[in-house]
A and B are shown apart, each in its own frame.
Chain A
Amino acid sequence: GEDVEQSLFLSVREGDSSVINCTYTDSSSTYLYWYKQEPGAGLQLLTYIFSNMDMKQDQRLTVLLNKKDKHLSLRIADTQTGDSAIYFCAESFRSQGNLIFGKGTKLSVKP
Chain B
Amino acid sequence: DADVTQTPRNRITKTGKRIMLECSQTKGHDRMYWYRQDPGLGLRLIYYSFDVKDINKGEISDGYSVSRQAQAKFSLSLESAIPNQTALYFCATSAKDRGNQPQHFGDGTRLSIL
Could you say which interface size class chain B belongs to? 20 to 34
Cβ contact within 8 Å between B106 and A103: no
Q: Which residues does chain A contribute within 8 Å of B34, judged by CB atoms?
A: none
Dominant SS among interface residues on chain A: strand
Q: Which residue of A lies closest to B99 (CB)?
A: A30
Cβ contact within 8 Å between A43 and B105: yes
A77 contacts the other chain (CB 8 A): no
Tell me the minimal C-beta distance from A44 to chain B in angstroms: 7
| CA–CA, A97 and B92, complex, Å | 12
Tell me the minimal C-beta distance from B50 to chain A in angstroms: 6
Cβ contact within 8 Å between A97 and B31: yes
Could you say which interface size class chain A belongs to? 20 to 34
| CA–CA, A50 and B41, complex, Å | 26
A111 contacts the other chain (CB 8 A): no
Given that A88-B42, A97-B50 are contacting pairs, would A42 and B100 also be in contact in the complex, using a CB cutoff of 8 Å?
no
B22 contacts the other chain (CB 8 A): no
